[in-house]
Amino acid sequence: MRVLFMGDVIGRAGRDAVVERMPEIRSRLTPDFVILNGENAAHGFGITPKICEDFFAAGIDVVTLGNHTWDQREIIPFLDSQPRVLRPLNYPAGTPGRGVGVYPASRGRKVMVVQVMGRLFMDPLDDPFAALERELAKVRLGAGGGMDAIILDVHAEASSEKMALGHVADGRVSLVVGSHSHIPTADAQILPGGTAYQTDAGMCGDYDSVIGMKKEAAIHKFVRKIPGDRLSPAEGTGTVCGVLVETDDRSGLAQRVAPLRLGGRLAETWPAW
């Protein structure tokens, strides 16, 4: 089974790049399931119901969010009504939406998607490790356990926290992939227990920027340390960044994992399978 995860979509440049490249991606990689982090899709801050629907129409199966979940107020009621959009699992009880879902894939298979948000240099949410343990205790990976694939999106700032969660989940999920940093890391690997891992998938957006935002306003904030123009997404040609995992049909664990980078300023990389 092949599952593709695409990193944080930043503004229109990211949205356009994803939608334009999806037919080619589906044709060349033949993924059985596609997940996308969309928390910066609405002009860099949050997402709207319409943007979610546009992603679904383009062939995205599930959209995950993150620390910008609430930036567009209209998304709040949508989270309760649309199970294909996930916010971090470790928000407090009673928060709108859900942090985990089970979804149908081809040939009657089931994919579980979970998102947790880290706490280092982030909002002080509930413990992501404990929240993850509670969910993994309910299911078992593999053909005999009911879940053909389990994908964990770790939305976090610190690479150490992402890696720790990867090792905690090793052998129990198919893929642990980081989001939020907006920079693709060069550490795609299969951990000792059989779980595929990459610290950050990278963003889908314009890389002639400061993590997807226009350079001038971002630099001004660092250099002057006084309020300036509001950050807004860079508008050049977008790059699509993601991670593709191929799982064993019996165990649900990873057989192969590789990065995907298409278009824009980064060197193009297709999984060579």
| Residues identified as active-site | 68
In the chain, the largest separation of any two C-alpha atoms, in whole Å, equals 58
d(CA 12, CA 258): 26
d(CA 37, CA 22): 15
Total count of residues recorded for the chain: 273
> Contact at 8 Å (CB) between 131 and 115?
no
d(CA 141, CA 148): 6
Indicate the angle between helix axes 159-169 and 128-136, nearest 10 degrees: 20
Reading phi first (left if > 0) and then psi (alpha if -120 to 50, else beta), residue 54 is in: alpha
Cα torsion 78, 80, 84, 89 to 10°: value is 120
> Contact at 8 Å (CB) between 114 and 152?
yes
Strand, coil or helix: what is 155? strand
> Contact at 8 Å (CB) between 38 and 261?
no
Cα within 13 Å of Cα(58), Cβ side: 23
d(CA 16, CA 22): 10
d(CA 238, CA 107): 33
